[in-house]
C-alpha cells in the first residue's frame, strides 16, 4: 500500500442505517475470503499506484453500499464499484457533506468509475447501488495526483470527468431558475440526488428508478424539450401499482412522493407525440423539513403517514375542491393482517364514489364490492383503494384484506350526480371505465365521462364504433368490460385500414392517437375495433378529444396557446 492511499474513516449510512456496510481495514488487501468474491482481482495498477477495496456487502436490486472517505484537498481520487456476475447493473455516486452531487456513473453496466478532482470537500461519501440483479458489491478507491489523474481514469474507464455532467445540463435554458422557482413553490428544503438528461419517445416509455429513505420525501421535476408534447409522468411502486401522476405546470411535470419506510419507486415518462429529451431532477428532502412541504402541491404518500382523521381531512378537502359534497362514512374500524373482513353497505340510486382512507401503519389493501346476488360490482387495491358503483338503490357487501400491514381505516361514500344513465345498467363495466379514466387523468369526477357507447364483444367477431379525430387534436379512447369476458382489445384505425393505436387489457384498456400531420387526403373519421379474448361481455366505450399541447380536453376552457419555444 502506498503512502498516498486514502484514509478511510467512519462509514455513514445515507438512508441505509439499517444495513450499514463495514469498511475494510485499509492495511488489508482482500484476497479470496470464504463467502466473499476475490475483490482484489478487480483492481488494476495505475500511474498513481493501485486502488484499495474499502467496503464489501451483498445485496439485491435497490440495495446500497456506502463508505465515507477523506481526500487531501490538493489530490484527485479514483472511485470504483464492482460486483459479482449475478449483478447486471451497478451505479456509483459521490456526495459532499452538504449533500451536493460530486459525480455519478449510471451507465448500463456493472463497472462504474468516478474521478473526483479539486475543488472538492475533504470528506466524500461514495455510494454504490444495485440497479439490476443481486450479489456482492465492493467499493474501491485510490488517490492520485492531478497530473496522473487522466491516465489513472483511463485505466478504470471513467466515463465522465469532474463537472462534465453539470456542464452538459447548464446549456439547458433556464434550468437553475426553473429549479429555484419549483422549490419555492413546493416548500421544504431539498438536496440534489440526481440530475440526468433522458431520451423521450412517444413509441416507448422511459423509466427512471429512485429510492426513498424512511420518513423522507423525494421530489421529481421533469423539464421536456420542445420536440415533445403532452408528457405523461406516472409514478409506480415496487409492486408495479400506480401511485399517482405528476402535476402539470405548463410544459413542466413535477411530483413529491413520501414514505414512512425505505422503498423504491419508478418514474415512467412518455410523451403523447414527438421524440425529444428531458432533464429529470430528483431531490431528497432534508430530514425534519417534511412538514414544511406546501400542502397545495401534489404530494403522493407511498403508505399512510397520518391518522385516519388527518387523512380524511386531507382527502375531503381535495374532493371538495372538485365540487363533491360532504361524504358519508359507511364503514370504519381496524383491518387485521391476513384476514378478510366484510362490511354491509346500503347504496343509493345512481353512481357513487367509495374512497378507502387508510391510517398509519395500514398498507397493501385489496377491496372487492359485491351485489346482493354475489356479482362483482367493483374492485381495487393499493394504499387507498377507490371504487365506483352505478345502479339502483341496493344492499351491497365490501370485502377487504391486507397482507402487508394492519391498521385503522374509514370508508367514505361520495355522491356522483350527473353521470350518464347507461352506466347504471352495467355497474362492473362502469366502475372499470371510471377508474381507468380517472387513473389516466382524463376525468376528475364521474360526470365528466362524456358520451358512452355500448357494444357486445365476442372472441370470434370484431365490434365497430365510428369516431372522429379532427386535425390538430388527439383522441383518448377507453373501453371497459362487464362480467362474462376477459382480455379486451381496442384498436383505432383509419377508414383506409391504417392502424393508429392498439391497446390490450384484462378488464379495461385505453389508447391514444393524434392527428398532428396535415396529410393530404386524410379524413377526421376513424373506427374503433374491439373484441375479447375469452367469453362474451358487454363493453362500455368512451372517447375524449384532447389538445396535443397539453393534457386538457380540446373543448376545455383551460386550453391555452402553445408555449413559446426555448431559444436555441
Same domain, 156 and 182: no
Q: What is the 3-state secondary structure (H, E, C) of 408-447?
A: EEEEEEEEECCCCCHHHHCHHHHHHHHHHHHHCCCCCCHH
Same domain, 260 and 369: no
Q: pLDDT class for 24, splitting at 50, 70, 90?
A: very low
Q: pLDDT class for 42, splitting at 50, 70, 90?
A: low
pLDDT at 256 over 70: yes
Ramachandran region, residue 443 (left: φ > 0; alpha: ψ -120 to 50; beta: rest): beta
**Domain range for residue 138?**
7-163
pTM: 0.60
Q: Is residue 65 part of a domain?
A: yes
CA distances from 183 to 172, 190, 246 (A): 18, 8, 15
176 compared with 412, residue with greater pLDDT: 412
The answer to which of 61-75, 331-345, 389-403 has the lowest mean pLDDT is 61-75
pLDDT at 211 over 90: no
Same domain, 158 and 22: yes
Distance between CA atoms of 539 and 473, rounded to whole angstroms? Answer: 25
2 compared with 185, residue with greater pLDDT: 185
Same domain, 205 and 331: no
Q: What is the CATH number of the domain that holds 372?
A: 2.60.120.380
Peptide bond just before 24 cis, omega within 30 deg: no
pLDDT at 160 over 60: yes
Q: pLDDT class for 74, splitting at 50, 70, 90?
A: confident
Same domain, 102 and 36: yes
What is the reported pLDDT for 36?
52
Q: Is residue 484 part of a domain?
A: yes
- Where among 116, 132, 163 does a domain terminate? 163
Q: Is residue 332 part of a domain?
A: yes
Rounded to the nearest 10 degrees, how much is the dihedral formed by the CA atoms of 522, 525, 528, 529?
-70
**Cell of residue 167, nine digits:** 456542464
Q: pLDDT class for 422, splitting at 50, 70, 90?
A: very high
What is the reported pLDDT for 147?
85
- Where among 163, 186, 217 does a domain terminate? 163
Same domain, 15 and 141: yes
- Where among 119, 141, 163 does a domain terminate? 163
Those residues whose C-beta lies under 8 Å from the C-beta of residue 71, and which sit 6 or more positions away, are 6, 77, 116, 120, 122, 123, 124, 143
pLDDT at 393 over 90: yes
Strand partners of residue 209: 266
pLDDT in tens, 461-488: 999 999 988 888 889 999 999 999 999 9
Q: Is residue 447 part of a domain?
A: no
**Cell of residue 58, nine digits:** 451483498
Distance between CA atoms of 110 and 40, rounded to whole angstroms? Answer: 16
Rounded to the nearest integer, the mean pLDDT of the chain is: 80
242 compared with 31, residue with greater pLDDT: 242
pLDDT at 495 over 80: yes
Same domain, 383 and 480: no
What is the reported pLDDT for 162?
56
pLDDT at 209 over 90: no
What is the reported pLDDT for 321?
93
- CA torsion sign, 486 to 487 to 492 to 497? negative
What is the reported pLDDT for 40?
59
What is the reported pLDDT for 14?
31
Q: Is residue 564 part of a domain?
A: no
Q: Is residue 399 part of a domain?
A: yes
Angle, CA 408 vertex, CA 402 and CA 409 arms, to 5°: 85
What is the reported pLDDT for 273?
81
Q: Is residue 199 part of a domain?
A: yes
Q: Is residue 436 part of a domain?
A: no
pLDDT at 342 over 80: yes
Q: What is the 3-state secondary structure (H, E, C) of 281-314?
A: EEEEECCCCHHHECCCCCEEECCCCCCHHHHHHH
Same domain, 291 and 361: no
What is the reported pLDDT for 523?
55
Distance between CA atoms of 433 and 488, rounded to whole angstroms? Answer: 13
DSSP readout, 89-120?
EEEEEEE-TTS-EEEEE--SSS--EEEE-SS-
Same domain, 132 and 153: yes
Answer whether 400's CB lies under 8 Å from 366's CB. Answer: yes
Answer whether 415's CB lies under 8 Å from 348's CB. Answer: yes
Answer whether 261's CB lies under 8 Å from 214's CB. Answer: yes
Same domain, 228 and 132: no
Same domain, 219 and 238: yes
Strand ranges, E, within 107-228 = 113-116, 123-144, 190-201, 206-212, 216-224
Provide the b/e sequence for 383-406 (b: ≥16 CB within 10 Å): bbbbbbbbbeebebebebbbebbb
What is the reported pLDDT for 456?
97
Query: Residue ranges of the alpha helices (H) in 323-388?
Result: none
Q: pLDDT class for 529, splitting at 50, 70, 90?
A: very high
Same domain, 144 and 17: yes
Number of domain units in the chain: 4
Amino acid at each position: 500500500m502506498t503512502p498516498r492511499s486514502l484514509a478511510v474513516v467512519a462509514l455513514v449510512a445515507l438512508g441505509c442505517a439499517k444495513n450499514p456496510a463495514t469498511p475494510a481495514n485499509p492495511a488489508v488487501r482482500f484476497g479470496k475470503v470464504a463467502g466473499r468474491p476475490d475483490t482484489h482481482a478487480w483492481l488494476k495498477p495505475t500511474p498513481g499506484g493501485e486502488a484499495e477495496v474499502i467496503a464489501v456487502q451483498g445485496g439485491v436490486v435497490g440495495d446500497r453500499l456506502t463508505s465515507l472517505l477523506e481526500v487531501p484537498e490538493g489530490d484527485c481520487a479514483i472511485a470504483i464499484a464492482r460486483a459479482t456476475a449475478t449483478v447486471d447493473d451497478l451505479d456509483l455516486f459521490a456526495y459532499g457533506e452538504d449533500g451536493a452531487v460530486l459525480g455519478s456513473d449510471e451507465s448500463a453496466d456493472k463497472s462504474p468509475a468516478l474521478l473526483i478532482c479539486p475543488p472538492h470537500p475533504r470528506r466524500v461519501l461514495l455510494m454504490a447501488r444495485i440497479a439490476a440483479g443481486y450479489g456482492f458489491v465492493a467499493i474501491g478507491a485510490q488517490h492520485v495526483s492531478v497530473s496522473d489523474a487522466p491516465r489513472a481514469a483511463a485505466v478504470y474507464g471513467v466515463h465522465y470527468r469532474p463537472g462534465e455532467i453539470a456542464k452538459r445540463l447548464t446549456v439547458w435554458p433556464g434550468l437553475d431558475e426553473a429549479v429555484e422557482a419549483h422549490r419555492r413553490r413546493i416548500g421544504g428544503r431539498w438536496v440534489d440526488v440526481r440530475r440526468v438528461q433522458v431520451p423521450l419517445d412517444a413509441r416507448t416509455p422511459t423509466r427512471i428508478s429512485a429510492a426513498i429513505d424512511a420518513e423522507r420525501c423525494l421530489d421529481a421535476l421533469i423539464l421536456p424539450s420542445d420536440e415533445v408534447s403532452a408528457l405523461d409522468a406516472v409514478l409506480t411502486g415496487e409492486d408495479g401499482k400506480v401511485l399517482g401522476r405528476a402535476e402539470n405546470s405548463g410544459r413542466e411535470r413535477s411530483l413529491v412522493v413520501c414514505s414512512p419506510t425505505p422503498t423504491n419507486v419508478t418514474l415512467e415518462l412518455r410523451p403523447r407525440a414527438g421524440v425529444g429529451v428531458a432533464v429529470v431532477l430528483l431531490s431528497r428532502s432534508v430530514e425534519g423539513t417534511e412538514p414544511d412541504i406546501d400542502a397545495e402541491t401534489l404530494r403522493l404518500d407511498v403508505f399512510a403517514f397520518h391518522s385516519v382523521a388527518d387523512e380524511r381531512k386531507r382527502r375531503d378537502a381535495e374532493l371538495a375542491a372538485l365540487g363533491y359534497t360532504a361524504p358519508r362514512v359507511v364503514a370504519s374500524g381496524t383491518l387485521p393482517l391476513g384476514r378478510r373482513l366484510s362490511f354491509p353497505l346500503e347504496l343509493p340510486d345512481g353512481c357513487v364514489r367509495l374512497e378507502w382512507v387508510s391510517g398509519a401503519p395500514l398498507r397493501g389493501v385489496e377491496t372487492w364490492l359485491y351485489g346482493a346476488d354475489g356479482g362483482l360490482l367493483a374492485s381495487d387495491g393499493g394504499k387507498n383503494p377507490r371504487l365506483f358503483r352505478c345502479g339502483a338503490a341496493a344492499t351491497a357487501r365490501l370485502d377487504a384484506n391486507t397482507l402487508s400491514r394492519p391498521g385503522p381505516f374509514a370508508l367514505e361514500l361520495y355522491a356522483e350526480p350527473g353521470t350518464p344513465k347507461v352506466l347504471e345498467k352495467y355497474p362492473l363495466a362502469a366502475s372499470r371505465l371510471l377508474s381507468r379514466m380517472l387513473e389516466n387523468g382524463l376525468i376528475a369526477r364521474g360526470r365528466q365521462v362524456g358520451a358512452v357507447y355500448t357494444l357486445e364483444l365476442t372472441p370470434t367477431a370484431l365490434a365497430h364504433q365510428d369516431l372522429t379525430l379532427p386535425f390538430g387534436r388527439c383522441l383518448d379512447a377507453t373501453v371497459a368490460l362487464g362480467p362474462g369476458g376477459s382480455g379486451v382489445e381496442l384498436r383505432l384505425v383509419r377508414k383506409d385500414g391504417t392502424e393508429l393505436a392498439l391497446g390490450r387489457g384484462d378488464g379495461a384498456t385505453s389508447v391514444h392517437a393524434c392527428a398532428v400531420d396535415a396529410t393530404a387526403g386524410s379524413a377526421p373519421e376513424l373506427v374503433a375495433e374491439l373484441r375479447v379474448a375469452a367469453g362474451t361481455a358487454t363493453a362500455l366505450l368512451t372517447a375524449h378529444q384532447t389538445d396535443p399541447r397539453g393534457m386538457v380536453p380540446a373543448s376545455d376552457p383551460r386550453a391555452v396557446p402553445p408555449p413559446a419555444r426555448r431559444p436555441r
